[in-house]
Amino acid sequence: MRVRASGADRAFAIVVYGLVLAASALALFPLFYVLAISFSTETEYLTRGFYLLPRTFTLEGYLYLMSHPGFMSALRNSVSISVVGTLLNITLTTLMAYGLSKTWLRGRKTLNFVVFFTLLFSGGIIPTYLVVQTLGLLNSFWAVWLTSAVSAFNAIVMRSFFQSVPKELEESARIDGSGEWLLLIRIIVPLSLPAIATFTLFYLAQNWNTYFSAILYLDNDQMPLQVFLKQMLVEDDPSISNASSVAYPYTPAARMSAIVLTALPLLLIFPFLQRYFNQGVMLGAVKG
């Protein structure tokens, strides 16, 4: 018994689809603009105004970056920070969240509070900096890896996820005589791969986009892509730094190519995990 769409419903659909398409266009156009300029010659960029499809085609910007020692070193630093950092993040978070998901564990409430309280109150920039300094971690990637090793928020969400894994699995494994480590590695981790992959992506995004801890803790030659890009786009921009007499050191294509290369890795990865975002992994978080 299909009800015929009334005028009001048709208007509703037009409004919904219209707004959704407009929002998508707004989300996409800056990215397409950057992509278009990254393949354009400088002449086209300077003469054509706003466009999303280049008439010229050049790889000059990308080739320039490939042979730019500063960019390549920043790229290597970003890869190191992200790969090691993310492995550390996901390992510590999974272990801790799984441990804290055991309702029979004594001291569990206190431990949960220890994690939760850091969401409400923090020591601040300088006291944390002094700890890093005292430990001798300044000018080392360890400062970046360790100061962001576990996100309290992610640990709490993952804990409630593990709590939702059926208890029978645990019981049957215990009868087999396996200990907690085997249980975690053989049963829980394979079952939870979608959730673990999702959190790995969140951590990877955080590490790849890290800027603040890099400028706080790292030496000049250890700077990741985000810091390099900031220098390239913001600090060296004559209109911002008020140094209009200084000639701009990079071509438009080089600047846009740097943006593309910095943003692309995460944009290529996240769609594969998208279907897990909606599955309530995050909703548990709201309830604390």
Residue 72 vs 288, nearer CB to another protein:
288
- 240 near another protein, rule: CB under 8 A: yes
- 247 near another protein, rule: CB under 8 A: no
Q: Are 153 and 119 contacting, i.e. CB atoms less than 8 angstroms apart?
A: yes
- 136 near another protein, rule: CB under 8 A: no
- Distance (Å, whole) CA 282 – CA 117: 19
Angle among Cα 115, 117, 121 to the nearest 5 degrees reads 130
- Three-state secondary-structure class, residue 110: helix
- 243 near another protein, rule: CB under 8 A: no
Scan residues 62-81 and list those touching another protein (CB under 8 A).
none
Residue 57 vs 117, nearer CB to another protein:
117
Q: Are 167 and 103 contacting, i.e. CB atoms less than 8 angstroms apart?
A: no
> What number of CA atoms fall less than 13 Å from residue 208's CA on the CB side?
16
- 100 near another protein, rule: CB under 8 A: yes
- What's the min distance (Å) between Cβ of 66 and another protein? 19
- Distance (Å, whole) CA 8 – CA 272: 37
Give the interface segment with another protein, choosing from 58-66, 68-76, 79-87, 277-285 (CB under 8 A).
277-285
Binding residue (CB under 8 A) for another protein from 128, 140, 160, 163: 128
Binding residue (CB under 8 A) for another protein from 67, 106, 168, 245: 106
Binding residue (CB under 8 A) for another protein from 41, 198, 222, 226: 226
Binding residue (CB under 8 A) for another protein from 24, 56, 139, 164: 24
Angle among Cα 160, 161, 162 to the nearest 5 degrees reads 90
Q: Are 66 and 72 contacting, i.e. CB atoms less than 8 angstroms apart?
A: yes
- 190 near another protein, rule: CB under 8 A: no
Residue with tokens 């911002």: 240
- Distance (Å, whole) CA 174 – CA 182: 10
Give the interface segment with another protein, choosing from 28-36, 61-69, 161-169, 191-199 (CB under 8 A).
28-36
* Binding footprint of another protein, residue count (CB under 8 A): 101
- 184 near another protein, rule: CB under 8 A: yes
